[in-house]
Amino acid sequence: MSGYVKEKTYVTSPLLPELEDVYSEIRGIFASKWLTNMGEKHKELENKLKNELKVNNLSLFNNGTIALLTAIKALNLPQGSEVITTPFTFAATPHSIVWNGLKPIFCDIEPNTMTLDAQKIEELVTPNTSAILGVHVYGFPCNVEAIQKIANKYNLKVIYDAAHAFSTEIDGKGIGTFGDISAFSFHATKLFNTIEGGALSYNDSSLERKVYNLRNFGIRNEEVVEEVGINGKMNELQAAFGLLNLKIYRKEQEKRKKLKEFYDDKLEKIRGIRIPKIPKNVTNSYQYYPIIIEDDYPISRNEIYDRFKEENIFTRKYFYPACSDYDCYKNDLAVKLAHLPVTNDLKNKVLCLPYYGSLRKETAEYIVSRLQNEMN
């Protein structure tokens, strides 16, 4: 194919600010001699993100997993109680439930958005259920209205893993305003990154003190330790990196939007390839570009993955295996009995294509042409 240079191509490439700008930030931080513990950069990023994400309260964290662990902890759910969640997610989601001494109950997903199927949640509610934990997977929002209705009916807390949903909005409302608390990840692979990092957003301002304490060993002041906290603090270098990326992530989204339009236009015409559709009232985070390889495509998802890999193009089978297949969960009786037909079908069909602003046009064209000619 003309212009295509075979080079290692990954599913994403981190958003990087100008190196000179990073140097300048580092110089400032060196001069201040304040490296961590809620410094100036930390405060500035917290405020700016609150506006950017249109949320009422926001607390930064050193990574998304510690943020999610803390979100669950902050809600004081009864020990051993059950949390209904999706198996179609990254390991951090169910692990955070278990690290909190709670039990994940896997619920099946919707075929289009691949988020928790709200129709199937209610049948899993027991007297022991304390919360629902949904994941806005690939930035596709959960059915937040239906989930909240069920939560209200059974007096359950609602937690969202919004790791993929930076800047996603539903009807103009920030994704982090739904449910009781939402956890974001700012890992290097995420659209907006602080190298490693994360945040919690929540509506109830009274949670602020709890979250602050849990993030900082439970230390309130020099002489008072109020509770059993952890170290979840984001440092000044991470925060400064975030401030720089905050200025450029919209441009990156624009590029990804164009790439999505290109992929959509070409791939929608191929028999056996399905493109999940984001609802009209939702803004896309442009975090991932998943496609579904249906049974009528001539070769399987795994064959496509292997053939691209032979050509140094590293697509990802997000999310294969499903969490319900993990060695650490699969032998649990509730997991064995779980009815997960959609998850078990889609985990073998979904493939995330290389998706980032600086992906060369020729590479995108090559990927499309390989799928068009059925990888022959």
Ligand X SMILES: Cc1ncc(COP(=O)(O)O)c(C=O)c1O
Q: How many residues bind ligand X (CB under 6 A)?
A: 15
Using CB under 6 A, which residues numbered 234 to 253 contact ligand X?
none
Per the CB < 8 A criterion, the answer to whether 61 and 199 are in contact is yes
Of 69 and 371, the one with the shorter C-beta distance to ligand X is 69
Pick one of 12, 85, 86, 93: the residue that binds ligand X (CB under 6 A).
93
Asked if 273 interacts with ligand X (CB under 6 A), we say no
Q: Which stretch binds ligand X (CB under 6 A): 87-95, 229-237, 249-257, 355-363?
A: 87-95
Residues with Cβ < 8 Å from 131, sequence gap 6 or more? Answer: 72, 75, 77, 81, 83, 84, 102, 156, 157, 158, 159
Per the CB < 8 A criterion, the answer to whether 107 and 83 are in contact is no
In degrees, rounded to 5, the angle at the alpha carbon of residue 5 between the alpha carbons of residues 192 and 257 is 35
Using CB under 6 A, which residues numbered 188 to 207 contact ligand X?
198
Structure tokens at 252: 């990156």
Per the CB < 8 A criterion, the answer to whether 148 and 158 are in contact is yes
CB of 303 to ligand X, least distance (A): 25
Q: Where are the alpha helices (DSSP H) in the chain?
A: 19-32, 40-52, 64-74, 92-99, 144-154, 207-215, 236-267, 301-310, 327-330, 333-337, 341-346, 361-372
Q: At what angle do helices 361-372 and 236-267 cross, to 10 degrees?
A: 40
Using CB under 6 A, which residues numbered 5 to 64 contact ligand X?
63-64
Of 68 and 156, the one with the shorter C-beta distance to ligand X is 68
CB of 33 to ligand X, least distance (A): 28
CB of 285 to ligand X, least distance (A): 12
Pick one of 15, 151, 163, 214: the residue that binds ligand X (CB under 6 A).
163
Q: Is 46 helix (H, G, I), strand (E, B) or coil?
A: helix
- What CA–CA distance (Å, rounded) separates 84 from 104? 6
Of 213 and 285, the one with the shorter C-beta distance to ligand X is 285
CB of 82 to ligand X, least distance (A): 20
CB of 61 to ligand X, least distance (A): 8
Per the CB < 8 A criterion, the answer to whether 45 and 186 are in contact is no
Of 135 and 304, the one with the shorter C-beta distance to ligand X is 135
Of 93 and 148, the one with the shorter C-beta distance to ligand X is 93
Of 195, 224, 204, nearest to 61 by C-alpha is 195
Asked if 113 interacts with ligand X (CB under 6 A), we say no
Pick one of 117, 161, 169, 236: the residue that binds ligand X (CB under 6 A).
161
Per the CB < 8 A criterion, the answer to whether 44 and 63 are in contact is no
Sign of CA pseudo-dihedral 32, 38, 41, 44: negative
Asked if 65 interacts with ligand X (CB under 6 A), we say yes
Residue nearest to ligand X (CB): 64
Asked if 95 interacts with ligand X (CB under 6 A), we say no
Pick one of 92, 144, 291, 359: the residue that binds ligand X (CB under 6 A).
92
- What CA–CA distance (Å, rounded) separates 16 from 241? 9
CB of 193 to ligand X, least distance (A): 9
Asked if 187 interacts with ligand X (CB under 6 A), we say yes
Asked if 185 interacts with ligand X (CB under 6 A), we say yes
Asked if 135 interacts with ligand X (CB under 6 A), we say yes
DSSP tag of 88: S
CB of 13 to ligand X, least distance (A): 16
CB of 92 to ligand X, least distance (A): 4
Binding site for ligand X (CB under 6 A): 63-65, 68, 89-90, 92-93, 135, 161, 163-164, 185, 187, 198
